[in-house]
């Protein structure tokens, strides 16, 4: 199976950052297992990942610098990890950046899909959800096979999304640390504060295994089982939790 997909593998139609200025992967320093897995995926797909040091829930000194009331330490750490990347986007002068979490699976045809759909992405976008759980369907702007670019209505989750420099400035100024980061973003999308677009039929999912639980207990939507159309991890021989049930 691996050999078959290697034969079908095509030259990346964008570049090694999927057309974005940069790709950040949020990764805790002690989760070397996840870093190795994500690096294998990057190498296989011809992508360049920059592993960004995630904030640890045990880093009380850093967590206490911010007014993060009502959140668990794990939620605070996750929030800050994303927030600090927004600042990094501005600091480095990036026009935009893709932000990934380190426990994901990626659609094998990700480069073609993003290349096709990003052509219809308006210039003034703030957030572009490459991966999400979307309970509402917005206006369709473009299609690529079974994947569609839509106006976001109520996107959930932050395991794969891009932020423009304009969007980063808005979020840095407006976020109030009152809810988990994915909820904060959803609220701003829903209110129209940020201009957001999503790929409908997600191109990335969180990879669930018994020995690799979430670093944020009780996180995620109320359902677990999801599959990609063409899973890179499955091509590489990985298995999910339910494969053993």
CA angle 141, 90, 12 (to 5 degrees): 50
| pLDDT tens for each residue of 170-185 | 999 999 888 999 999 9
Phi-psi bin for 21: left (phi > 0), alpha (psi -120 to 50), beta? alpha
Whether residue 170 is contained in a domain is answered as yes
Whether residue 245 is contained in a domain is answered as no
Average pLDDT, the chain: 87
| pLDDT tens for each residue of 84-100 | 999 999 999 999 999 99
Whether the per-residue pLDDT at 230 is higher than 80: the answer is yes
Q: How confident is the model at residue 165 (pLDDT cuts 50, 70, 90)?
A: very high
What element of type H or E holds 51? strand 50-53
The number of distinct structural domains making up the chain is 1
State how far the Cα of 64 lies from the Cα of 110, in Å rounded to an integer. 38
pTM: 0.89
Q: State mean pLDDT over 61-80.
A: 87
In this structure, what CATH number is given to the domain that contains residue 134?
A: 3.90.550
Whether the per-residue pLDDT at 136 is higher than 90: the answer is no
- Show the domain range for 68: 2-239
Whether the per-residue pLDDT at 190 is higher than 50: the answer is yes
DSSP calls for 72-88: -HHHHHHHHHHHHHHHH
pLDDT at 128: 98
Q: How confident is the model at residue 137 (pLDDT cuts 50, 70, 90)?
A: confident
Cα→Cα distances 39→3, 89, 103, 129, Å: 19, 22, 12, 22
Whether residue 25 is contained in a domain is answered as yes
Whether residue 210 is contained in a domain is answered as yes
pLDDT at 177: 83
Percent pLDDT > 90 in the chain is: 69
Q: State mean pLDDT over 234-241.
A: 82
């Amino acid at each position: 199976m691996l050999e078959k997909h290697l034969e079908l593998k095509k030259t990346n139609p964008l570049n090694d950052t999927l057309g974005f200025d940069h790709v950040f992967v949020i990764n805790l320093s002690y989760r070397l297992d996840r870093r190795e897995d994500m690096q294998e995926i990057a190498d296989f797909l011809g992508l360049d990942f920059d592993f960004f040091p995630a904030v640890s829930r045990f880093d009380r000194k850093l967590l206490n610098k911010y007014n993060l009331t009502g959140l668990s330490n794990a939620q605070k750490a996750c929030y800050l990890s994303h927030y600090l990347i927004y600042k990094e986007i501005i600091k480095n002068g990036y026009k935009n950046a893709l932000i990934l979490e380190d426990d994901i699976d990626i659609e094998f045809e990700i480069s073609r899909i993003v290349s096709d759909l990003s052509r219809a992405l308006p210039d003034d976008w703030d957030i572009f959800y490459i991966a999400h759980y979307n309970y509402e369907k917005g206006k369709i702007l473009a299609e690529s096979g079974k994947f569609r670019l839509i106006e976001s209505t109520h996107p959930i989750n932050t395991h794969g999304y891009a932020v423009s420099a304009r969007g980063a400035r808005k979020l840095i100024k407006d976020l109030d640390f009152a809810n988990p980061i994915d909820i904060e973003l959803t609220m701003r999308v829903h209110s129209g504060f940020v201009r957001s677009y999503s790929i409908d039929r997600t191109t990335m999912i969180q990879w669930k295994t018994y020995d690799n639980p979430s670093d944020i207990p009780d996180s995620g939507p109320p359902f677990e089982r999801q599959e990609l159309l063409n899973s890179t991890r499955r091509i590489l021989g990985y298995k999910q939790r339910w494969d053993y049930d």
